């Protein structure tokens, strides 16, 4: 019997945790909420809170070490998304952008370019505010990803 899909949330700055909880509950999936500080999670037998030590990439490392092929990772962190894809998992950004094997290389390159530009002070603002369209796109992407991974198990 195939292992069930687990969802891992890179939770420190994730704006769609509540949406993940609802979708995971609808499908009966386990959700692991990973952060380096205490985050409130609903009391539910299929939701676990994992508090890791503070430090760069500690939460990412925990997720990468525990995920398995077919799991789903929710993250804005492009290097974590790449690690998830290498492990056979799916990766989705909170705005609904699905990372793929074909797109991750350009995402990493764009990230490096943006870091270089920011280091020169040429960009001082952050990303656009998260809105309802992002939330809706995320829900659609998560649902599609879960269904695709479930079909693979049949």
- pLDDT one-digit tens code per residue, 82-128: 999 999 999 999 999 999 877 765 655 565 555 666 667 666 666 67
Find where tokens 């891992």 sit: 8
Average model confidence (pLDDT) for the chain?
A: 88
Of 23, 22, 49, 18, give the one whose Cα is nearest residue 36. 49
Residue 56, pLDDT > 90, answer no
Fold of 6-152: Rossmann fold (3.40.50)
Higher pLDDT, 110 or 69: 69
Task: Provide the pLDDT for residue 111.
Answer: 54
23, pLDDT greater than 60: yes
**Within 10 A of 138 (CB to CB), how many other CB atoms are there?**
24
Neighbour-count burial for 109-125, b at 16+ CB within 10 Å, e otherwise: eeeeeeeeeeeeeeeee
Domain locations along the chain? 6-152
pLDDT at position 110, please?
65
């Amino acid at each position: 019997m195939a292992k069930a899909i687990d969802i891992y949330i890179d939770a420190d700055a994730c704006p769609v945790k509540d949406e993940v909880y609802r979708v995971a509950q609808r499908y009966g999936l386990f959700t692991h909420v990973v952060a380096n500080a205490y985050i409130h999670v609903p009391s539910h037998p299929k939701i676990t809170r994992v508090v890791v030590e503070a430090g760069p990439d500690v939460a990412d490392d925990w997720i990468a070490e525990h995920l398995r092929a077919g799991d789903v990772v929710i993250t804005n962190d492009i290097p974590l998304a790449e690690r998830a894809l290498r492990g056979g998992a799916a990766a989705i950004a909170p705005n609904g952008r699905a990372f793929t094997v074909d797109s991750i290389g350009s995402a990493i390159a764009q990230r490096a370019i943006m870091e270089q530009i920011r280091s020169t002070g040429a960009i001082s603002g952050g990303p656009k505010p998260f809105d309802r369209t992002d939330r809706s796109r995320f829900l659609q992407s998560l649902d599609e990803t879960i269904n695709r991974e479930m079909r693979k198990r049949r």
